A and B are shown apart, each in its own frame.
Chain A
Amino acid sequence: MRALASEEPTPTPLERPGRAADAAAADDPGDRPIALELESVTKRYAETTAVDGVSLSVREGEFFTLVGPSGCGKTTTLRLIAGFESPTEGSVRFHGEDVTGTPPEERDVGVVFQNYALFPHMSVGENVAYGLNFADPPGGVSKSGRVRELLELVDLEGMADREPDQLSGGQQQRVAIARALAPGPDVLLLDEPMSALDAQLRERLRVQVRAIQKELGITTVYVTHDQEEALAISDRVSVMRAGAPEQVAPPREIYRRPETRFVAEFVGDNNVFDGTVRSVEGRGANGRQRAALEVGTETFAVDLQDREVSVGDEVTFCVRPENLRIGAGVNATTAIVASAEFLGETTRVHLEWYGQELLVRTRDPLSGDVTVGFEPEDAHVVAIDRTV
């Protein structure tokens, strides 16, 4: 999966505010009112702290994704929003209204689980209609009309009389989405909804989920451990680790400008280097400062973007495998090919370099010693540890 992470990881047109090129710029969620908000929310269990002082806000109509390795607290965060768990500290607000103590049935949420959680003793139609027992269908349609409308929305017309176990996994998950949407909830919460599906189906379904979300303009919080999925589907992504967000940003920014080493390594393939500033050079062609960094026995020129460093600082920077060039003259160094994975479109080559592994993407097979290098602008400074 990681192999597919290309330079343009997201098909969604929404990421950065104010881009004229983006057709959906007018639809930018950045200006919209806040739909839901967590304020310093902590969830402690007997021995562990699952969520540690998380503050987040999601805007109306925004597709917001919580991504991270298992145990990072993303699912617990979702469950706190849904009301299945109550926070040890902090508060949850929907449209500015405190709902911290409100049980899930009185919050206006729709929830979709990884395992679909369809009621096995009810038909597809009965499943979708269940929430309409407690709320009138929005838009004044009849109950059965609403069920038909929703099944149409998820391309399951005419399936209302089927039993859930007669459907495939992907169909069941679409029924679960229709069921969650039927009462017209204010917020849609999806907890790893696709991880039980096979890879191909997962990619198709995520396109559909995103389209439905945009069509309805419904505020959505999505939990996944799959960073590629997170980049592909979201307006904004929160990369979580050990119960707290490491970075919250649009997908492109997460990918291009990771703020921590964890984000740099978790999202997509990356080559992370630790170096010491030897000198700070003048501005390069693009008007930005460059630094000469000593990494092991090599010295690399790195574009500092808008960061300030001084000689002696420890700097962590990363270079994406697609930006490591074979045989390049700038920042060139020699490495040994350790292994290669043929991935179809490209080959991912593992290089051995001073006890560190480097990843590089090539089209042609490599062997023996190779020279690799990178443009100073393609390096991204992740963290600076100032010595003084």
Chain B
Amino acid sequence: MVRGGTHSANDDGNGLENRSGPVTDRNSARERNGSRTDGGATAPVGTPDSASGESTPPSEPSDRRRGRGIRNRLERRAIALFGLGTLVLLLVLFYYPVATVFVEAIVVEGALTLAVFVELLRDPFYFGDLARLFAGESPLAVAGDLLSSDRRLGVVGFTAYQAALSSLLSVALGVPAAYVLARYEFRGRQTLRSLTVLPFVLPSIMVAVGFVATFGQNGTLNGALGLVGLGPVELMYSLEAVLIAHAFYNAPLVARVTTAAWESVDASAIETARSLGASPFRAFWDIVAPQLYPAVLMGAALTFVFTFGTFPIVLALGGFDLATVEVFVYRLVQDLNYTEAAALAIVELVVSLGVLYGYLRYEANHVVRSRGVRPLARRPLSPPSFSLREVVPRAGIAVYAVIALVVFVSPIVSMLYASVTGPNGLTLDHYRFLLERQQTAAAFQVQPWPAIRNSLLFAAGALALALPMGIVVSVLTTRRYRGRKLVDAVAMAPLAVSGIIVGIGLLRGPVFGIEISGWRFTMAGAVAIVAAHAVSCYPFVVRTVAPGLESVDESLVESARALGASRARALVDVELPLVWPGVVAGAAFVVAISMGEFSSTVILATGTDQYTMPVAIERFIGRRLGPATAMGVVLLVVTSISFVIIDRLGGESFGI
């Protein structure tokens, strides 16, 4: 009955025995269709259709899998339902609040007007000499004044100015790092490369504390200078301090993207250029450099956008003289001048989006996607010989290493050092203070322990919201369908909108209360903070999960579906198990960023007992540096743990 011995396709060379086990698909196919068990069930196995008349086809072939009722139908729509849920959350927690801010800026006493903007644009306080252009003066006269030495920049102009300088400094510090990471082999290179992701998780307020501890009046820098009989220097509350802090933050980003580009340069392209007669320098200029420009520019553009919206660093390091747009928005909010704050925030958003858009246009035209078939060979860090050609670049690297130590390492070390030193040498007083303060403190003062507790609670809440949102958005943005770009844009907008705007929106909207047909809905402050955190964090989950999902072979999902799994079931059974490192890394991002979030939290927590560690640090920083550094160390520990998780599980797949 069963044909045997005809199957020889056994590729590992084993001899093949005749199959003995009859497989009963065909007959069981009849059984499961129920209607005819007479002839079919007794037909000999393995001989298909010995009498074709009896094997009338099953009339309802998909019966077996269908008809599992409502649960099945829900499961079939599960992704769409989750997508809808995410959309509703985004509308309530992000789009509606942000829209109220925008409306506030253009609707004055019930009438639509651009007066607030016009006034803002013509105010030299904000736009400096440029304001006269908006007021109708001749562009030539304005340009002349802008080029003169006593030009006025205004708040917006200054913000752009410091952002441009920060970008330059970040590129200047980041590109050499990329050179070392991409072209030299040394112990700890991988670790150093991983560390470039750290700025994404380091709370900016913690960085500010580190800078105060380093460059402040009694900081480690002045201490070190004092030992050799120099100083003291006053760096605090100066543009330089802000720029260096921004470089601390953004140079690793520049280094990260540039290293990746450098590593994807194909060595054989350079060898081809050399064999055609190009000198090493010429080959670098013609082959390597063009592949690096887009990455460097991307780093610079992102740095500009980030530093244009800088807030905690300038608030803590800039003092009263240096105020960026974001700091001013914050001050206006504190003065309850919401209309002007909103208008200013929109101006900021427009500038940031403009720069991003310009960059994306550039990127679209300059995509260099040479998959490094064979990357450039790395050189040892110690010179193999003492020729000029070997020694000079390495001497340069040594100089760079010293600068890098001062900029990148000293703030962290100084913070750790300051947290364990007092007037009388080593002490744990600052940490003890974190625990003891509440017993003696008055109710209105910021207390350390509630700050730590709030931070943990809010991070847990943000995680519970952001993780499912991020996963759903990842699924919706990695599959191809019409309207995907729109979904992508709607879902990623929170990345572009500053925390201050989200904070104001949530405060003025849901927290103060929304009236719907006579009922007043209010959102608790704590819920609003969790919402703001979730909204600003979940794009990072998308960033870590989506690349993984993108690389999951679509035929795996299709196989699962052909086998009977719904789309949602295939996600749970096949895709998520394959991308779980990205999911965990995304979760670590959420925890770290939520812990360090300052902008929206400070707006929502002011005057309440919902303050978090970063808010507490900002309150401490001016008065008592010790406790601020101690709390900074607590934040550092949390974010470092997150960093290790991200690095172990998802650092490479992270999209930026």
Find out whether the CB atom of A216 lies under 8 angstroms from the CB atom of B559.
no
Which residue of A111, A179, A187 contacts B558 across the interface (Cβ within 8 Å)?
A111
Using CB atoms, name the residue of chain B closest to A104.
B561
Instruction: Write the chain A residue with the least CB distance to B574.
Output: A119
* B19 contact from A99, A155, A176, A180, Cβ within 8 A: A155
Shortest CB-to-CB span from B644 to chain A, Å, is: 24
Interface: A298 (CB within 8 A): no
- Partner-B contacts on A (CB < 8 A): 26-27, 31-35, 60-61, 82-84, 94-97, 99, 102-111, 113, 115, 117, 119-121, 130-131, 133-136, 138-140, 149-150, 152-153, 155, 168-171, 174, 176, 179-184, 186-187, 189, 201, 204-209, 211-212, 214-218
The chain B residues found within 8 Å of chain A, CB to CB, are: 2-3, 6-12, 16, 19, 21, 23-29, 31-32, 46, 48-49, 52, 55-62, 64-66, 76, 553, 555-556, 558-567, 573-574, 577-578
Check B23 against A215 for contact (C-beta < 8 Å): yes
Inter-subunit contact B25/A138 (CB<8 Å): yes
Knowing A27-B48, A121-B577, A153-B21, say if A97 contacts B26 (CB, 8 Å): no
Residues of chain B with a CB closer than 8 A to A184's CB: 25, 28-29, 32
**Cα distance A84–B566 in the bound complex, in angstroms:** 12
Is there contact, CB below 8 Å, between B25 and A181? yes
Alpha-carbon distance between A111 and B558 when the two chains are bound, in angstroms: 8
Instruction: Report Cα–Cα, A174/B19, bound state, in Å.
Output: 15
Query: What residues of chain B lie closer than 8 Å to A206, measured between beta carbons?
Result: 9
Q: 10 new A-B pairs (CB below 8 Å) besides A31-B52, A97-B59, A108-B61? A: A60-B55, A95-B61, A96-B59, A105-B65, A113-B558, A134-B565, A149-B21, A186-B29, A215-B2, A217-B49
User: Known interface pairs A110-B563, A183-B564. Does A171 touch B11 (Cβ–Cβ under 8 Å)?
Assistant: yes
Bound Cα distance from A216 to B45, whole angstroms: 9
Report yes or no: A138 in contact with B3, Cβ–Cβ below 8 A. no
Q: How far is it, in angstroms, between the C-alpha of A205 and the C-alpha of B561 when the chains are bound?
A: 25
CA distance A371 to B210 in the complex (A): 93
Contact of A61 among B48, B567, B574, B578 (CB under 8 A): B48
Q: Is the CB of A130 within 8 A of B16?
A: no
Question: Can you list 20 A-B contacts with CB-CB less than 8 angstroms, sorted by A residue number?
Answer: A32-B52, A33-B57, A34-B57, A103-B561, A104-B558, A105-B561, A105-B564, A105-B565, A106-B62, A113-B555, A115-B555, A131-B563, A133-B565, A136-B32, A138-B28, A139-B25, A169-B11, A184-B29, A204-B10, A207-B7
User: Contact partner of B563 among A27, A99, A180, A215, CB < 8 A?
Assistant: A180
- A168 CA to B59 CA in the complex, in Å? 39
Nearest-neighbour CB distance to chain A for B487, whole angstroms, equals 18
Does B3 lie within 8 Å of A215, measured CB to CB? yes
Given A106-B66, A138-B29; A82-B562 close (CB under 8 Å):
yes
A33, A82, A176: most-surrounded residue (chain B CB, <10 A): A33
The 8 closest A-B pairs by CB, nearest first: A217-B48, A134-B564, A138-B28, A131-B563, A170-B11, A204-B9, A208-B9, A139-B28
B10 touches A155 (CB 8 A): yes
In angstroms, Cα B25 to Cα A61, docked, is 12
Instruction: Tell whether, in the assembled complex, residue A82 and residue B62 are in contact, meaning their CB atoms are under 8 Å apart.
Output: no
- Check if B6 sits within 8 Å of A211, measured CB to CB: yes
Give the interface centre of A95, A205, A218 by most chain B CB atoms within 10 Å: A95
Of the residues B25, B574, B578, contact of A218 by C-beta under 8 Å: B25
Contact A104 B578 (CB under 8 A): no
How far apart sit A31 and B51, CA to CA, in the bound complex (Å)?
11
* Max chain A Cβ within 10 angstroms of own Cβ: one of B3, B11, B59: B11
In the bound assembly, the distance between CA atoms of A13 and B385 in angstroms comes to 75
CA of A214 to CA of B430, assembled, Å: 81
Residues of A contacting B11 in the complex (Cβ-Cβ under 8 angstroms)? 168-171, 201, 204-205
Decide yes or no: A130 and B573 within 8 Å by CB, A84-B558, A201-B9 being known contacts. Answer: yes
Q: Which residues of A contact B561 (CB under 8 A)?
A: 83-84, 103-105
Q: How far is the CA of A97 from the CA of B129 in the complex (A)?
A: 75
A105 near B8 (CB under 8 angstroms)? Answer: no
A187–B24 Cα distance when bound, in Å, is 15
- Residues of chain A within 8 A (CB-CB) of B3 are 211, 214-215
Q: Is the CB of A138 within 8 A of B563?
A: no
In the complex, A26→B55 CA distance in Å? Answer: 14
A218–B46 Cα distance when bound, in Å, is 11
Closest to B14 in A: A155
- Cross-interface CB contact of A205 among B9, B19, B578, cutoff 8 Å: B9
Q: A184 CA to B33 CA in the complex, in Å?
A: 12
Q: How far is the CA of A149 from the CA of B2 in the complex (A)?
A: 14
A204-B8 in contact given A95-B57, A153-B23 (Cβ < 8 Å): yes
| CA–CA, A122 and B563, complex, Å | 15
Smallest Cβ distance from B375 to chain A, in angstroms?
A: 25
Task: State A205–B31 Cα separation when bound (angstroms).
Answer: 30
With a CB–CB cut-off of 8 A, which chain B residues contact A153?
Answer: 19, 21, 23
Q: CB distance A119 to B49 under 8 Å?
A: no
A34: B residues at CB distance < 8 A: 57
Bound together, the chains give a CA A206 to CA B7 distance in angstroms of 9
**Which residues in A have their C-beta under 8 angstroms from that of B60?**
95, 97
Complex-state Cα separation, A279 to B408, whole angstroms? 94
Q: Are A139 and B24 in contact (CB under 8 A)?
A: yes
Measured between beta carbons, the chain B residues less than 8 angstroms from A109 are: 562
Contact A216 B25 (CB under 8 A): yes
Contacts of B9 in A (CB 8 A): 155, 170, 174, 201, 204-209
- CB pair A208 B7 closer than 8 Å: yes
- Are A140 and B564 within 8 A (Cβ)? no
Q: How far is the CA of A180 from the CA of B561 in the complex (A)?
A: 11
CB distance from B12 to the nearest CB of A (A): 6
Which residues of chain B are near A26, meaning CB under 8 Å?
Answer: 52
Inter-chain CA distance A120–B10, complex, in Å, is 22
Find out whether the CB atom of B564 lies under 8 angstroms from the CB atom of A133: yes
How many angstroms between the C-alpha atoms of A169 and B12 in the bound complex? 10
Q: A61 to B2, alpha carbons, bound, how many Å?
A: 17
Q: Which residue on A lies nearest to B53, using beta carbons? A: A31
Taking CB atoms, residues of chain B closer than 8 Å to A111 are 558-559, 562
Partner of B57, one of A60, A110, A121, A183: A60
State A61–B65 Cα separation when bound (angstroms): 21
* Whole-angstrom distance between the Cβ of B116 and the nearest chain A Cβ: 43
Q: Once bound together, how far apart are the Cα atoms of A107 and B46, in whole Å?
A: 24
A169: nearest residue on chain B (CB-CB)?
A: B11
User: Contact: B49 with A113, CB < 8 Å?
Assistant: no
How many whole Å from B573's CB to the nearest CB in chain A? 7
A147 → chain B closest CB, angstroms:
12
Docked CA distance A169–B11 (Å): 9
Q: Whole-angstrom distance between the alpha carbons of A75 and B460 in the complex?
A: 47
Query: Per a CB cutoff under 8 Å, which of B49, B556, B563, B578 touches A134?
Result: B563
CB-nearest residue of chain A relative to B570? A105
Q: How far is the CA of A150 from the CA of B573 in the complex (A)?
A: 22
- A107: chain B residues at CB < 8 Å are 61-62, 562
Q: Which residue of B lies closest to A119 (CB)?
A: B574
Task: Name the one of A104, A131, A138, A211 contacting B7, with C-beta atoms under 8 angstroms.
Answer: A211
**Which chain B residue shows the least CB distance to A206?**
B9
Contact A117 B555 (CB under 8 A): yes
Task: Enumerate chain A residues within 8 angstroms of B62, measured Cβ to Cβ.
Answer: 94, 97, 99, 102, 106-108, 186
CA distance A104 to B577 in the complex (A): 22
Q: What is the CB-to-nearest-CB distance from B560 to chain A, in angstroms, rounded to a whole number? A: 7
Contacts of A139 in B (CB 8 A): 24-25, 27-28, 31
CB B410 to nearest CB in A, in angstroms, measures: 45
Q: Which residue of B lies closest to A203 (CB)?
A: B9
* CB-defined contacts of B23 to chain A, threshold 8 Å: 149-150, 153, 215-216
Please indicate the chain B residues that have their CB under 8 angstroms from the CB of A120 in the complex: 578
B residues less than 8 Å from A60 (CB atoms): 49, 55, 57
Question: Given A95-B58, A138-B25, are A155 and B16 neighbors across the interface (CB < 8 Å)?
Answer: yes
Known: A95-B61, A108-B62, A117-B555. A179 touches B55 (CB 8 A): no
For residue A152, which residues in chain B have a CB less than 8 angstroms away from its CB? 19, 21
Nearest neighbor of B27 in chain A, beta-carbon distance: A139
Residue of A nearest to B577 (CB): A121
Q: Is there contact, CB below 8 Å, between B578 and A135?
A: no
Query: What is the CA–CA distance of A145 and B7 in the complex, to the nearest angstrom?
Result: 22
Closest to A111 in B: B562
